[in-house]
Every structure is written in C-alpha cells, then in structure tokens.
Structure 1
Amino acid sequence: MDDAAHRALKKYFGYDEFRRGQDQIITRLLDGDDTIGIMPTGGGKSLCYQIPALLFPGVTLVISPLISLMKDQVDALGNAGIQATFINSSLSFTEGKERLTAAARGKYKLVYIAPERLEVPDFVRALERMKVSLVAIDEAHCISQWGHDFRPSYRSIPAMITRFSQKPVVVALTATATPNVTADICQLLGIAQDHVIATGFARDNLNFQVIRGQSADVFLFDYLKKNQDQPGIVYAATRKEVDRLSARLAEKGLAVGRYHAGLSEQERAMSQERFLYDDLTVLVATNAFGMGINKSNVRFVIHYNMPRNIEAYYQEAGRAGRDGEKSDCILLFSPQDIRLQKFFIDQSEMDDALKHAEYHKLEQMIGYCHTETCLQGYILRYFGDKDPDNCGHCGNCLDTREQSDVTIEAQKVLSCVKRLRERYGKMMVAKVLAGASDQKVKTFHLNRLSTYGIMQEQTQKQISEFIDFLTAEQYLVQQGGAYPVLALSDRSLAVLKGEAKVYKKGSVRAERLAVDDALFETLKQVRKALAQKEYVPPYIIFSDQSLREMSARLPSTDHEFLMIKGVGQQKLEKYGQAFMKAIAEYQEAQQEPV
C-alpha cells in the first residue's frame, strides 16, 4: 500500500489503518486496474474512491443514485478539507453549468452526479472536457436487472466511459450483490471476475432478530418506549401503515416523523432533514426512504412488515450501526405479509421470467422468517459466503426461551378449520372456538359444529393470536384475495393424527440497548450545537464511535485528541478545543464535593 494513501487517510479522515478490503481495492486502483468492490454497508466503501481521488491528478467522477447522499458526502468531504461538489436536479441550469466549468478547470477533486444525467448528450459532452482519472459507480447492483433496485439509467455508464480520450480507472461498489448480480456487473462493465474483491457480508455489530406469532404493535411500542433516546427507523410496507404507526407513536409522546412517496416533496425533505439532524428520534417509512442515507448513528432498524427479498432486507437493515456500534435489526413477521408481497409482484410490470425470479427470492425471504438456525448465517449463505459460523449474538443464537406443549390447543384449532371446510377466515374460526353467540355463526349453523365453544375459556382475541402463531409456524395457510380463508397445511396433518407435537415458546420481550454514560451525552450536545451552527447533520462533525472513544480516553491535548478515531488535522483545528473544554469541565464537576 502506498505511504501517501496512509498519510491521506490520517490527515483527512483521522484513521491509522484501512479496514479489511479497503487497502486491496485502493492498491488496485492506484495501479490502474478496474475493480469491483463488494463490502457490507458501513464497511467504508466511500474511502475506496475518496483516497485515490486525492492521489490521482485529475477529477474523480462519482455516479450516485440519490441527491441526499451526494449532499451528505460533499458536506462531509468539505468538513474534512476536501474540495468536492455535486451536479443534480436540485441545482438550476446556471448553477450546474458553473460547477461543470469549475470542475473542468480542476477546482474539485470529486464530482458527484446522478446516473440520469448520462442520458443527456450535452451533459456527457461537458464531462469529456474534464480530466477524469477515476469513475466510481456507487450502488453498482443498480446496473443489473437481477438486482433488487435496477435502474435503466445505469446502463448508460459503459458508453460514457468509452467517450473519454484517455480511459479512466473504474471502480464499482455495492453492499448487496448475489453471485448472479456480481457476474452481471462484471459483464456489463467489462471487468474480469478475478478483479472482484469481496470482503464478506458479515456485520458483527448488528443483532438480527425475527419476532413471529405475537403482537407486532405490542412489541414495537414496548421496544420504542424502552429505547426512546436512541435514533432508529421503522419500515412498513404500505403508506397507510406508515401513517397509522406514526400517528400512534406520536400519541405516545415519541419524537416521530413519517416518509413515503404519497407525501409532498416538502414534507419528505423536512422529515428526512429532522431525522438526520437528530431532531426526530424515530422515522417511520416505506422503502422509499433510506438508499444512500449516510446517518451513522442509527441504533435500530425495525421492519414492521417482511420485505420482498433478502437483498432489500439486508440493505435496509444495514442502515443500522454504520459507525460500528452495536445495533438491533428486528423483523416483525406476520403471515399476511406474504400475501401482500405476492400482490406487489403480481401487480408489477415485470415480465414472467423476472416475476418467477422474484417469487423465488420471496420464498427465501419467508425461509429467513422461519429458520431456527443462525439468522446472520442464513443471510451470508444467501449472498454466497461459504459455511459461515453461527454469529452467537442473533435472536436465534441467543434464544433460551422455554417451550410449552400446546398440541391439544393446536388440534382444537386445526380440527375447527377442517370442520369449517377451510371456507372461513381467522375471525370466524375464533368466534366458533370461543362459542360466540354471533348472528352469522347462527345463520350459517356453525353453532352446531362439534368444535363450537371448545375453547370458551379463552377470549376471541387470545384465540385469534394463537391462530396467528399457528399460521406463522406454517401449520395453517391463508388463501384467497382481500378476505383470506384459513386452510390446513401439510404440516398440520401429522398434528391432527397425533403423530407430531406443537411447542410454543414464550413471547420475546423488548430489551433496552446499551445505556450511554453522562459524558457521552454531554459530548452529543456539544456536537449538536456545532452542527446547528454549520447547518450539517451532527454525525458529519463526529460519529458516535468517536464520541464514545473521547468519553473513555478523555483527551486533553492536541496530540491525544488526534489519536481518537475519526479525528483528522482539519477536525482537530475546527472542533478540538470545544470538545476538550467540555471534557475538562465534566472532569472538574466530577471532582467537586457533593
């Protein structure tokens, strides 16, 4: 590895060593080799092109899919003392032209552009006037139609690269690419398979958990109440669900915002900004939110509904803990989610081959929700990691709940569904089992069934929740459209015959994330005040990881402050005194007699 690269890493970004994979990718790029880097979210993909950008003579062109990410990256680079800009639809024609001209004169080391710009001939001709040394393609899985977020505009990239008089070095980076998608990226960009550097997909700081067969609302509200001082994202599958959840959470006094495509652009931008600036603790959103969001201190991501595939899930869940700190990734599984995702696939404009592929991915996602093996291991196998070890810290690896035998209750429910000839939904089955004197029950003579009232010691709500458990555990299946009916699965037949037992574990209880110390909280307030003054998100000043290290090591000199991870020369000069003063005042207060 070039010594100049290490010097740039320390000077601008405040780190002594590169992370796994970064040094390999950077070395290849500095040697002029086109490279594909596959690294998990939070693995430091941006540095893989930012360091070479500082060392190459010309401009580095970064193709990035979202406007919010570009602004974030440019703000962070400026904060570290690096000249960078972006050109996208948020600028006027004049502003865009001025930045292009300045870039051609060599004012900037990095220029971020949206892929859609490459479909404008005049814009591509303007790029040709720049001395482009490196083209970095972020979220490179978007170029493949087999990826989970295909964008046709990415297909313009190869043609653009060939138009430069001197071919630039190319690096394509992604966090979520299956072996098929990786092969597709290689073929489309003309990069050999042996130029792929994959560091593995494991995120050891993330604690994965699947909650099924219990009330999603009860768990969610309990978890957020216990962690209301921690920033996090709650993903829901529909706009209606986002609106309902955000309203309920606001009623409970949480600092919550919402984000989905049905809101005005102004409200979406406001919610995003307030979340990034730590003015909102929780953001409830559809998958319209998050790609390219660089907020490093997201402590939890909760999926209220199951996503369509593992790639989408891992990318969304991976927005937690980008700073390397322990964070939770929780999926609240409901059997209804399967029907919803199948509906989305059926209603899409994909051809039959792509729909078939999506159904296959959905089956693997359902498998994740039901596996009793290590959850991280399941994800890693999906992405082609060979024989991963058990992580030792996911919900399945740590599950010590006792099991109770609920075979008799299960036989009662399954028998009722059978006697109802698999023609009724959950609510009617619950009414029959509870012995409800409902008019519909009497009209259809369901009160004459042998299973009528055989669970009358329980409420309809309790029976309904037990039916949810049996459905989540695949003893029952839901069939039909808007008003699904319950049917027996192959798995239930052995239970009815007395050949298999059904066991139910106790409910999963929401846990509190790690409690932060008083000095850390003080430093967070210093960071927030500086961020408000500079109109940047707090994590651009310093990450939570840097603040925790400060509160542990208590730096009091410039040299000691420079030893903190994430502190470069520029940040020492800008912020060192403010943080060291806060640390000194805290120490003095601790020493004063009570």
Structure 2
Amino acid sequence: MQTVNPQTILKEKFGYDNFRAGQLDVINKVLAHKHALAIMPTGGGKSITYQLPAMMFDGITLVISPLISLMKDQVDGLNTTGIPATFLNSTVDGQEQAQRMSDLRHGVYKMLYVAPERLEVPSFFSFVQSLNIELIAVDEAHVLSQWGHDFRPSYLNILPLLEQIPGHHALLGLTATATERVRENLQQLLQVTDENTVLTGFARDNLALKIIHNQDKRKYVVEYLRKNSDQTGIIYAATRKQVDELTTYLNKIGIKAARYHAGLSEKERQSQQEDFLYDESPVIVATNAFGMGINKPNVRYVIHYSVPGNIEAYYQEIGRAGRDGLPAEAILLYAPQDMHLQEFFVQKSEGSEEHKQNEYDKIREMNAFANTQTCLVRYLLQYFGETVTKDCGHCSNCLDTREWVNVTVDAQKVLANVIRMNQRFGKTMVAKVLKGSNDASIRKYEFLRELPTFGLMKERTLKELTRFIDYLTAEGYLQFEGAEFPVLKVTSSGAEVLKGQKTIQKRLEKIRIVSQSMNSDDLKLSDNDNRLFAKLKEKRLALAREAGLPPFLIFSDKTLLAMAKLKPQTDVAFLSIPGVGEKKFEIYHQDFAKVINEFIVI
C-alpha cells in the first residue's frame, strides 16, 4: 500500500482541499482493512470513501453496484480524473470483455465495477477469486436489508460469495437511506461493529423542503417551471404514463423537457439522460428509476408530482438537488389518491406477507409525513433516528404564518368515534360515521347508525374529515394497524386527549381560491369578439354533427369565449386556453385555428 497522505490524493485526484464530514473516518477504517458501514446523505461524498483508498491500495477495488445503466458514466468519470477503472456487465461484448479481464490480471486497472448478479456466474466468480482484491465496496447497500425501501432478496446471494474471495480485504457498505432498523440489519449482514459504522447525519441545510396540498398539480408545475426557467430540475412521477403525459404537455407548451423510465429503449433512455446531464433539457420527468448514481451538481429543484411510497425513497430522491451545496428546493405535491396508487403497487408486488406489511407501514409513514404540521426537517431526521430539538426554519411548515387554533374538541369527537366503532374500522368508514353518511357501506353495519357519534360532524365534508384524521395520525393521536385493510386505533397520546389531559393545536385551514386563467371582466367581449365567438360556435356545431356528439363535448362556451377574446396564434397560446387539453388540441386545433386566422385576415 502506498504511504502517500490521503489529503494529497484528495487534492491531486479530486480537486478538493478538505474532506467532508465522515469521509476521512471511513477512509481510515478501509485502509486498516476493516468491515465498515458508511451512512451519508446523498451528495455527502460517499464515493470518495472507496475511490480514494483504491488509489492507495496495491490491489484492486471491487465495486458491487445495482446500477448497470450508470456504470459507464461512473467509470468514464473516474478515468477522466486519472483513476484507471473499468466495468464488466452484459453491455460489454465477448472480445472486449476478454481484453478487460486480461488487463485486470496485469494490473492495468485499480477499480472494477460489477453488478451483484454477475458474481453468481461461476466462471466469472472464479476470475474474481484470481484477482488481488483489497477492497470490496457494496454501493446502495440498503437493497440487502429486508427492512429497506428497495429490498432485493437475490442480492443476499452475494454475501456468502464475498467470504470466498481470498485475502484480507476491506469490506465497505454504503447507503444514504437507513433507518435504525435497516442500519442494525446491515451491520449484521456485513459483520460491521458499531465502532466501524460511520453515520454523518441526514441533514441537508441547503435544501428547503416544501409540501403543497390542494393544488392543480399540472398548473403548479407549469407556473413553477416558467418562474425558474433558468434552473435545472427533476420531476418524479409514479408511473410511466404520468411521465409520458407530463413530458408531452410541457414540450407542447414550449417548456423543453426530457423523460426517463424503464419502458423506453436503452438508446432513448441514454439520449434523454444525456440531454439532461448536458443541459440540453433543463428539466427531466422520470420515475424513480432515474437518478441513482447521477452526480449532476447543479440540480436546483426536485418536484415530486406524486407522493413516493416511503420516506427513504423520498429522502434519496430529494438528495439529488443541491449537491453543489448551493440552495435548492424539494417540493412534494400531495394528493390523497397518490397513497392509494402506492398501496396498489404493494398489492400487485411479489413477496411475503411480512414484506408487504412492511411496505404498507412505510406508505402510512409517508402519508403522516406529508400531513404533519411540525418542522419537516425535524420530522425527517427523527424518522432516521436522529435526536433533533431545533426546527430548520426554512421548510414550508416553519414558514407557515397561519394562526394556530385549538382543535381539541374536534379531535375528541374523532377519537371518541374510533372508540365507539370498537377500533376495527378504517379511515373512510370513521369519516362516514362522523359525517352521518347513509350509503351501502354504512347500512351494512346497522349498529353504526345507532352510535351517539353518528353525524356528530355532519357540517364537515368527507374530504375535510379524512384530512383531519390524517393530521391526527401524523401527530401520533391515532395509528393504523393491519396491512391491506388497516384499522384506526387510538394511541396513548390520543387517550390523554380524550381524558382532557392534553390539548391539540392545529394551523387554521387556508381558504384557497383557485386562480383562473381569466376573470369575468376578461370575458366581456367586444362586438368584434362576439362575431368571432359566433363563428366558433358554428364550427363547433358542424364538428359535433359530423362526430355525432353534443357540442359541449367538443368545447364549452367558456373555452370558445376565451378563444374569441385571446385569438391564439401559436400552439403554446392555444394550449393555454382553459378547456383545451392535449387530446382536444390534437383533434380540433387546426379547425378552430383556421376560423380564428380567417377572421383576423377579414
């Protein structure tokens, strides 16, 4: 092993003057050939903790990574800094693979990246055993833990193999997302002691967290992107369909956006990713398949168009913003139906009932986070096991200026109702009883209509009641039990509220006025506009007759009034008209644009 100072290599190879928190501690454990575990936030500099020792060891550093699609980028980045590295996976043809294997035997490379599955190929594993391996780095180590957010059972197969690699090599597990339970599981799997576990903390002071409720998501995104057109960002959606629809819409209205999901060809994924990386597209819309291993430092915002299925995934994804240490934003657009989608994913997934129960629990933890009114950063850090006593001061909850009001009486009504329902019903049924609903689901249980709490909060809407129940759950007065069909239970804190031993404060509900594209004054037409409006109605009627549709199914009067007043001349302008969606634009744009253009010429 070279005796050169790690600080010297840090400056010469990586260009940094000083180590970040925890880096040197991990490096020293690795250089001493220990089994170590590094838990650092995304952007915290985990890669240096194995890349730098690789330059000091005489032997080879083996990096096990689940990210085949990103190995080339990582290796290219290392080679540009003068660190000889290569990868072996299914994208490398036979002749090239043979050459790289020969070069590895002859000491040409200091680092080798492989996927876990590759080690299970007997001939390849024999080759690995023949190399002088001094360090094995297991990246994204949380996939090994059954309690992690991305558990992959097949990855456990590599652990016995690692023990069969000869020599006294160091072993380093790395992750950005590990609760206390996951951390303990990884320590057991990788045989790491507490002394050799480095946890630097999960705080990202430059990242402002925001949660937005009750908004038109598409409208919010468009307004945000236009206000931040000179910045780069990532938008995460839950499904491929959402990615495709939002990307198509953004490009139609003149906002250049790339897209990324597993349904695209490898060529298109690579092309779209490169457009984003090289700032050809300032924004990329993606499923959570995108971003792992991407080290783009100037991402200024991450928007979650859909709520992720767990806090770990959320934390990992927001960590892709502000990796350069400059201010960045992480915005979560919350909608209750997002949670139902995540539950559907779990229902359709493979795995044991215990694993599914764990996934359902994580969805509820994510929902509680999205509905809390405490400091978001404090909530997040406490989830990961950190003791935090101070609010961050810059998340959306800390900056919320709404008045706090006493909601103890309302809370007692909800809690009492849960008790009266014998704590064996879910959120929707609890809300319906409080509302005094009389639908089939209530009639199925005759005793519910006889409860003294039936209709106790009938002045509230079901939506308001379910949101209030979510709030009480987020603050720990209620909890869910069960997997696919969870029931509500009153916690010990909730019991104190029922007994009058504790009061509950909640911020005053916002009165939301959804802004329209134009107000009533805007729609007062001149005589000239009225003539155009009449012609547009004639065209609508003709098209409706031709298609056998009621005219309003083509465009409403309000949409035609807006066309008559604004007279859109471009695709972007036309798409901004209220009521003109992508499909209708595709079908009817040319017909109505022709009417408008001919009228203007006249």
Q: Please, what TM-score do these two structures have when normalized by structure 1?
A: 0.70
For residue 470 of structure 1, report the CA deviation from its aligned partner: 6.0
Q: Distance in 2 between matches of 1:46 and 1:3?
A: 19
For residue 501 of structure 1, report the CA deviation from its aligned partner: 9.6
CA change 1:13–1:166 in 2 (3 A) is same
Matched, 1:503 2:493: no
Contact kept? 2:371, 2:470, Cα under 8 Å: no
Secondary structure at the counterpart of residue 48 of structure 1: helix
For residue 192 of structure 1, report the CA deviation from its aligned partner: 2.1
Q: Distance in 2 between matches of 1:346 and 1:311?
A: 20
Q: Distance in 1 between matches of 2:31 and 2:102?
A: 26
Q: Distance in 2 between matches of 1:119 and 1:489?
A: 46
**Residue 251 of structure 1: aligned partner:** 252
**Residue 7 of structure 1: aligned partner:** 8
Contact kept? 2:375, 2:392, Cα under 8 Å: yes
Q: Distance in 2 between matches of 1:195 and 1:500?
A: 43
Residue by residue over 1:434-466, the C-alpha shift from the partner in whole angstroms, topping out at 9 and shown as x without a partner, is: xxxxxxxxxxxxxxxxxxxxx9xxxxxxx9xx9
Matched, 1:421 2:438: yes
For residue 391 of structure 1, report the CA deviation from its aligned partner: 1.3
CA change 1:471–1:419 in 2 (3 A) is closer
**Residue 293 of structure 2: aligned partner:** 292
Matched, 1:92 2:97: no
CA change 1:255–1:401 in 2 (3 A) is farther
**Residue 189 of structure 1: aligned partner:** 190
Q: Distance in 1 between matches of 2:330 and 2:248?
A: 23
Matched, 1:213 2:194: no
Contact kept? 1:141, 1:177, Cα under 8 Å: yes
Contact kept? 2:402, 2:508, Cα under 8 Å: no
Matched, 1:264 2:265: yes
Question: What letter is aligned with 1:143?
Answer: L
For residue 213 of structure 1, report the CA deviation from its aligned partner: 2.2
For residue 33 of structure 1, report the CA deviation from its aligned partner: 1.6
Contact kept? 1:213, 1:469, Cα under 8 Å: no
Residue by residue over 1:365-405, the C-alpha shift from the partner in whole angstroms, topping out at 9 and shown as x without a partner, is: 11100111111111111111123521111111122256899
Contact kept? 2:139, 2:174, Cα under 8 Å: yes
Residue by residue over 1:192-231, the C-alpha shift from the partner in whole angstroms, topping out at 9 and shown as x without a partner, is: 2331110011111111111112322222211111112211
Secondary structure at the counterpart of residue 325 of structure 1: coil
Contact kept? 2:26, 2:198, Cα under 8 Å: yes
Q: Which moved more, 1:276-285 or 1:116-125?
A: 276-285
**Residue 76 of structure 1: aligned partner:** 77
**Residue 371 of structure 2: aligned partner:** 370
Paired positions, count: 454
Contact kept? 1:230, 1:299, Cα under 8 Å: yes
**Residue 276 of structure 2: aligned partner:** 275
Question: What letter is aligned with 1:57?
Answer: D
Matched, 1:55 2:74: no
Contact kept? 2:432, 2:462, Cα under 8 Å: no
**Residue 200 of structure 1: aligned partner:** 201
Cα RMSD, aligned residues only: 3.5
CA change 1:191–1:228 in 2 (3 A) is same
Q: Distance in 2 between matches of 1:130 and 1:476?
A: 56
Contact kept? 2:116, 2:158, Cα under 8 Å: yes
Q: Distance in 2 between matches of 1:389 and 1:404?
A: 22
**Residue 43 of structure 1: aligned partner:** 44
For residue 505 of structure 1, report the CA deviation from its aligned partner: 2.3
Contact kept? 2:10, 2:17, Cα under 8 Å: yes
Contact kept? 1:402, 1:506, Cα under 8 Å: no
Q: Distance in 2 between matches of 1:509 and 1:405?
A: 27
Contact kept? 1:35, 1:191, Cα under 8 Å: yes
CA change 1:12–1:415 in 2 (3 A) is closer
Q: Distance in 2 between matches of 1:162 and 1:240?
A: 43
**Residue 31 of structure 1: aligned partner:** 32
Q: How does 1:544-563 map to 2 (within 5 A)?
A: none
CA change 1:467–1:418 in 2 (3 A) is closer
**Residue 304 of structure 1: aligned partner:** 305
Question: What letter is aligned with 1:340?
Answer: L
Q: Distance in 1 between matches of 2:513 and 2:98?
A: 56
For residue 418 of structure 1, report the CA deviation from its aligned partner: 4.0
Question: What letter is aligned with 1:421?
Answer: N
**Residue 579 of structure 2: aligned partner:** none
CA change 1:416–1:247 in 2 (3 A) is farther
Question: What letter is aligned with 1:203?
Answer: R
For residue 421 of structure 1, report the CA deviation from its aligned partner: 2.3
Contact kept? 2:373, 2:506, Cα under 8 Å: no
Residue by residue over 1:131-154, the C-alpha shift from the partner in whole angstroms, topping out at 9 and shown as x without a partner, is: 111111110111112211122343
**Residue 143 of structure 1: aligned partner:** 144
Secondary structure at the counterpart of residue 102 of structure 2: helix
Q: Which moved more, 1:101-110 or 1:150-159?
A: 150-159
For residue 357 of structure 1, report the CA deviation from its aligned partner: 1.3
Q: Distance in 1 between matches of 2:127 and 2:471?
A: 61
CA change 1:38–1:508 in 2 (3 A) is farther
Question: What letter is aligned with 1:392?
Answer: G
Matched, 1:167 2:135: no
For residue 94 of structure 1, report the CA deviation from its aligned partner: 1.9
**Residue 583 of structure 2: aligned partner:** none
Question: What letter is aligned with 1:147?
Answer: G
For residue 161 of structure 1, report the CA deviation from its aligned partner: 2.4
Residue by residue over 1:57-109, the C-alpha shift from the partner in whole angstroms, topping out at 9 and shown as x without a partner, is: 11111111112332222122112122111111111122122112101111011
Residue by residue over 1:30-81, the C-alpha shift from the partner in whole angstroms, topping out at 9 and shown as x without a partner, is: 1222211000000000000111111111111111111233222212211212
Q: Distance in 2 between matches of 1:222 and 1:416?
A: 39
CA change 1:264–1:201 in 2 (3 A) is same
Secondary structure at the counterpart of residue 270 of structure 2: helix
CA change 1:355–1:257 in 2 (3 A) is same
Q: How does 1:184-583 map to 2 (within 5 A)?
A: 184-401=185-402, 418=435, 421-422=438-439, 471-474=466-469, 503-505=508-510
For residue 172 of structure 1, report the CA deviation from its aligned partner: 0.8
Question: What letter is aligned with 2:105?
Answer: A
Secondary structure at the counterpart of residue 299 of structure 1: strand
Contact kept? 1:373, 1:396, Cα under 8 Å: yes
Contact kept? 1:236, 1:305, Cα under 8 Å: yes
CA change 1:501–1:263 in 2 (3 A) is closer
Contact kept? 2:368, 2:470, Cα under 8 Å: no
The higher relative CO (CA closer than 8 Å, separation ≥ 6) is in 1
Question: What letter is aligned with 1:73?
Answer: Q
Question: What letter is aligned with 1:171?
Answer: L
Secondary structure at the counterpart of residue 299 of structure 2: coil
Secondary structure at the counterpart of residue 509 of structure 2: strand
Q: Distance in 1 between matches of 2:261 and 2:369?
A: 26
Residue by residue over 1:483-522, the C-alpha shift from the partner in whole angstroms, topping out at 9 and shown as x without a partner, is: xxxxx9999xx9xxxx999932256999xxxxxxxxxxxx
Contact kept? 2:404, 2:506, Cα under 8 Å: no
Secondary structure at the counterpart of residue 505 of structure 1: coil
For residue 165 of structure 1, report the CA deviation from its aligned partner: 2.7
Contact kept? 2:235, 2:285, Cα under 8 Å: yes
Q: Distance in 1 between matches of 2:185 and 2:4?
A: 34
CA change 1:391–1:105 in 2 (3 A) is same
Secondary structure at the counterpart of residue 504 of structure 1: coil
Q: Which moved more, 1:396-405 or 1:276-285?
A: 396-405
Q: Distance in 2 between matches of 1:384 and 1:344?
A: 27
Q: Distance in 1 between matches of 2:400 and 2:270?
A: 40
Structure number with greater Rg is 2
The percent identity for this pair of structures is 49
Contact kept? 1:403, 1:504, Cα under 8 Å: no
Question: What letter is aligned with 1:220?
Answer: V
Contact kept? 2:27, 2:50, Cα under 8 Å: yes
CA change 1:473–1:233 in 2 (3 A) is farther
Q: For structure 2, which runs of at least 5 residues remain unmatched after alignment? A: 408-430, 442-458, 473-487, 499-503, 516-602
Question: What letter is aligned with 2:438?
Answer: R
